[in-house]
Structure 1
């Protein structure tokens, strides 16, 4: 159904465009270079015959595949979404993709750096066991690959190519959305929902073949601002209350055997310090708080507040304010009200010849926010693995299957 070579060529082309986002930037998009990929995608969409494809000032790409079913057939508009940016954790500049054709199951040794080659093997990447005989794409070892989420971008483009070239395949109106800044939590910040004008959506940003993710963490950001008492250290006895030491006491008081990313799994939440800056007078501590329920979030935040209060009891002239900022909520709260969205995705995965696996994400996607913005939006696999690392890899055949699932979904919605 989906041409493997054309899909591979698209993916290789996309990952060589540096689209790394910047968490410190206040611009939208956070880096202008994300628009470089956006412009390429708009041009390619026009070449497919999609005339309304556009890149807006905020770096979003919008496009429409018109319905080809009779106008009196009530088919909801479906959106397929992927993000164009790559993680700030590892450089995405100068990506040199390598195709390991018909991989034979042995360790993949990346050529760079030459003095300490990176090894990708089944021991650390168990999903590779399903890939023997497939074509695996990696970077060269000194950058990430960018399969997160250019695998999803390539799959959507391949599906759009197929649908435009095969007008006999029935489908309703389809909206395509490519977003910037997902990796820095701003992927939906400037989406024009009226312009998008879709009823349901799917992000194509998942990992293992056949997976559907319809549950995510709920997430908050917490900032603690500590105001100590500063004075000259030579005359500090009985006066100095060092904000750095207060911050250290707070961090040292966090649970050591649980409630952290390194000690939790499954449905367990956590409190995770991510940034600290300041001096003896004033310190700012940033945390992310995660749980699968909003009540769980509030419990973790209450624990953090009581820890702050306990520490401040030893520093009577200092203060600390704790501010909570909502980041996103578990998409399941919305998707449970629209069961057909997930059910149709599971059926599309079956039609692609796969055994569907329903999973939860210990994280979030653009779909988390989109679901609460009025577009119920679970996450479908794209085949990307080892995100945000130099060991990142993707299978061409998995991307093919992701594109097939998109085509089947379009037909299923038209048939229902």
Structure 2
């Protein structure tokens, strides 16, 4: 594909992503980066009426600064409306990041921060695509730009998006981590578990036998899950999944038998029924542990587990229109198109649940959520070229 702006295309795209990565914007505090994006679109000629925020933050109940940023461009050519999206927020480790470019790579200046390429690179791809078609007056079908909030804390922006404000898109494309030539056509589902263990407090030196240690209950349950293959990588016949207990809190003094422990866990699988089985095994392990942990009087601990779905698994055939369009765009941009299924969650999970099948493409980020995070500039620029192809619908019209 010939760059619409020639050599200037690359320079502008890199400048835009560097600017975006330098703006603080963790989950729930995306207002500054959303304003930056909206201001650039206004300067390119979009009226205020084309730019709005939905009520996703209010509906999520998290107290976020803003909802999803939704921008609609009327088409200059006939064709199905296309939605291009990326999430605005970064993980807390990115706060204070100063992006520095060295050759083909961008990293954070400080070794104490992540970079924020996840997902400011995706935001830059969508933004750059829109600015390119506006500034160069390139023919394009109707476009909706969706910049979601609070992706990093459970895909809350996509979960609570106001679908009626999206303009009924027919083809949906999401940009997030990974290589620019790989189209993600499926992802796992995830259930969140809040586990509360209650025991009985007693003096750990004077009368430990009167107490029921909530820590002991939790330890027994975790050992049970681990020994029986229900924690970590789970492989049971043809069924696979993962689980993890990632948070444990309880106790305050060594001379008191701890009577209260809180744990947070997750269960993932591409098969909803097997994910429910993992949750059931967690419940049974903790209930067994509570019954088995008693004091001298035969009193036992108690367990309460609440479960909420974070997102459901999805898998699209390669023949899905958004997938064939994405693969054609990758090929048009001069790369070898590939597909894959991932074990993480994406905004595309919720878009699919909302009835909007969405393919996800990468932007060249690596080492995300760590201080080793980098952005590979050639891969990012390749993603930007794919974005312009998608926005102008110049790929095969087989979709």
- TM normalised by structure 2 equals 0.84
- RMSD of Structure 2 on Structure 1 (CA): 2.4
Q: CA deviation at 1:152?
A: 0.6
Aligned to 2:61: none
Runs of at least 4 residues off by over 6 Å: none
Question: Structure 1 CA distance, aligned partners of 2:137 and 2:147?
Answer: 23
1:141-180 to structure 2, matched below 5 A, reads: 141-169=111-139, 171-180=140-149
Q: State the partner residue of 1:110.
A: none
Tell me the residue number matched to 1:117: none
Q: Show the counterpart of 1:99.
A: 101
Write out aligned runs for 1:209-248 (5 A): 209-233=180-204, 236=207, 238-248=209-219
Which ranges in structure 1 are unaligned for 5 or more consecutive residues? 22-29, 102-134
1:109 counterpart residue number: none
Quote the offset at 1:299 in angstroms: 2.0
Distance 1:312 1:86 in 2: 39
- 1:294 is matched with which residue? 272
Deviation digits for residues 289-320 of structure 1 (CA, Å, limit 9, x no counterpart)? 11111122022112212212321231352211
Identify which of 143, 150, 156 aligns with 1:181.
150
Query: Is the counterpart of residue 255 in structure 1 residue 259 in structure 2?
Result: no
Going from structure 1 to structure 2, the CA distance change for 1:249 and 1:259 (only over 3 Å counts) comes to: closer
Task: Return the alpha-carbon distance in structure 2 between the equivalents of residues 287 and 384 of structure 1.
Answer: 27
1:326 corresponds in structure 2 to 309
Aligned to 1:196: 166
Q: Does 1:392 align with 2:361?
A: no
Equivalent residues, number: 362
Shift of residue 268 of structure 1?
4.2
Distance in 2, Cα, partners of 1:43 & 1:217: 36
**Match of residue 313 from structure 1:** 291
The change in CA–CA distance for 1:337 and 1:326 in structure 2 (over 3 A counts) is farther
Is the Cα–Cα contact under 8 Å of residues 25 and 89 in structure 2 kept in the other structure?
yes
> Does structure 2 retain, via aligned residues, the 8 Å contact 1:38–1:59?
no
- Does the C-alpha gap of structure 1 residues 94 and 284 become closer, same or farther in structure 2, counting only changes over 3 Å? closer
Q: 1:281 aligns with which of 255, 259, 268?
A: 259
Distance across 2 between alignment mates of 1:404 and 1:326: 36
TM-score by length of 1: 0.81
Is the CA contact (8 Å cut-off) linking 2:268 and 2:275 kept in structure 1? Answer: yes
CA pair 144-257 structure 1, distance change in 2 beyond 3 A: farther
Cα shift readout 1:383-412 (whole Å, capped 9, x = no counterpart): 111101111111222122212212222415
Residues 93/222 of structure 1: CA separation in 2 closer, same or farther (3 Å cut):
closer
Deviations 1:130-175 (A, max 9, x none): xxxxx21111223111100000111111111221134343x32110
